[in-house]
Structure 1
Amino acid sequence: MFIQIVQGRCRDTDGVHRLLDEWRDTMGGTAPGWLGGTYGITDDGQFVGVVRFESREAAARNSARPEQGEWWSRMEECFDGDVSFHDCDDAMVFLDGGSDDAGFVQVVQGRLRDPERFRHFMAEPMDMLHEQRPEIIGGTIAIEPDGWFTETVSFRSEDEARTGEARDMPEPMRAQWAEQMDAMSDVRYLDLHHPWFASAPVRMPSSGQ
């Protein structure tokens, strides 16, 4: 899986939402390898889009489509200043991944001292986490070559997320998570109180006729 993170200061929230819905309805069905996206705007006006493709090559083919360029020229007008793009071949999901039913998404960004160790940790079974934090539906992790990472965590609701944050984790789970947090730097949290989502339509297999 390949993930592209798009970020910028939004000046037209309604326009961003409308154009992303337009892309989903008119272009998403034919976008090469597109899997879905998670989107939102923080309280201070920062837009975050986490878009999933089957591969970097599929994302590049989508970007090369003329209609994509025309759409993006309109999308750019909704932002103040530059929009950043982070392309990540090193991407994975945990627990049940994202969910179009999530009521709250927290985006975590920072730098990993040991990306391989973190990746291995997140790939381990998370039965204990699911038991202790049932409000976490799942999420995605995207890691850039320099160790910068973007993680999305989808929750059923923000109230449940805040309650879960205050709950003490049992040992050794608490120690394991503390160790991973100690291996991060420059960590910041972007709360998407009103996230929205898009998913690729289910493609039925060919009958061969």
Structure 2
Amino acid sequence: MFIQVIQAKSSRADELRALAETWRDQDGAGAVGYLGGTYGVTDDGDFLAIVRFSSRDDAMANSARPETGAFAEKMAALMEGPPTFHDCGDVTTWLDGGSDDAGFVQVISGRVDDPAPIKAMATDTGDLRAMRPEIIGGTLAISDDGTFFQTVYFTDEESARKGEQIEPPEEIRADLESMMAGATFYDLHDPWFTSP
């Protein structure tokens, strides 16, 4: 899997959502290897798009399509400044991965020099399902420069906030705190999805 993360400032969430849904319905079917997208705007106006493809080659082929270029121009017009793109070829899915049924999505972004520990933590879910039943699953996407985006899909925000109060197991607490030091958390209270 390959994930492209798009970030920008925007105060036009409703228009971005309508544009993404129009693209899905009109042009998305022609996107080879397109697996779906998760979108949202935080309370601070941070727009994030986490777009999944079966491979880097498919993502690059999609970027070269005229329909994608036209969509990107329309999307950029709804942004307050140019968007930032992060191409992530190192992708790990955990539990059920991404889910269009999520009522709340949290994206955690940071940087790692060695991705192995954070990847191991993402795949070693152990008793997570029993301990945090509100977590549907997630993806961990890492770019070549070590920037990571962990996207966590929750059933609903209220349950997610309650679950946050549960202390992680002692054996992973120090590693988790180390990896999340300096990370930025983006809460997508009203996410939308564009599965093919």
Q: TM-score range by the shorter chain?
A: over 0.9
Pairs aligned (count): 196
- The runs of at least 4 consecutive aligned structure 1 residues that moved more than 4 Å come to none
Alignment match, 1:85: 85
Which range moves more in the overlay, 173-182 or 85-94? 173-182
Alignment match, 2:178: 182
Alignment of 1:40-51 (within 5 A): 40-51=40-51
Deviation at 1:184, TM superposition (A): 4.0
Alignment of 1:132-147 (within 5 A): 132-147=131-146
TM-score (norm 1): 0.89
Q: Deviations over 1:95-146 (max 9, x none)?
A: 101111111001101112421222123223x231111001100011101122
Alignment match, 1:55: 55
Alignment match, 1:108: 108
- The answer to whether the 8 A contact 1:2-1:52 is kept is yes
| 5+ residue gaps, structure 1 | 201-209
CA distance in 1, matches of 2:43, 2:137: 23
Structure (1/2) with the larger strand percentage: 1
Determine if the alignment matches structure 1 residue 8 to structure 2 residue 4.
no
TM-score (norm 2): 0.95
* Aligned sequence identity (%): 47
CA distance in 2, matches of 1:174, 1:163: 19
Deviation at 1:178, TM superposition (A): 3.0
Q: Secondary structure at the match of 1:194?
A: coil
CA distance in 1, matches of 2:179, 2:14: 38
Which range moves more in the overlay, 39-48 or 7-16? 7-16
- The answer to whether the 8 A contact 1:137-1:156 is kept is yes
Which range moves more in the overlay, 31-40 or 68-77? 68-77
Bigger CA radius of gyration: 1
Alignment match, 1:205: none
Alignment match, 1:165: 164
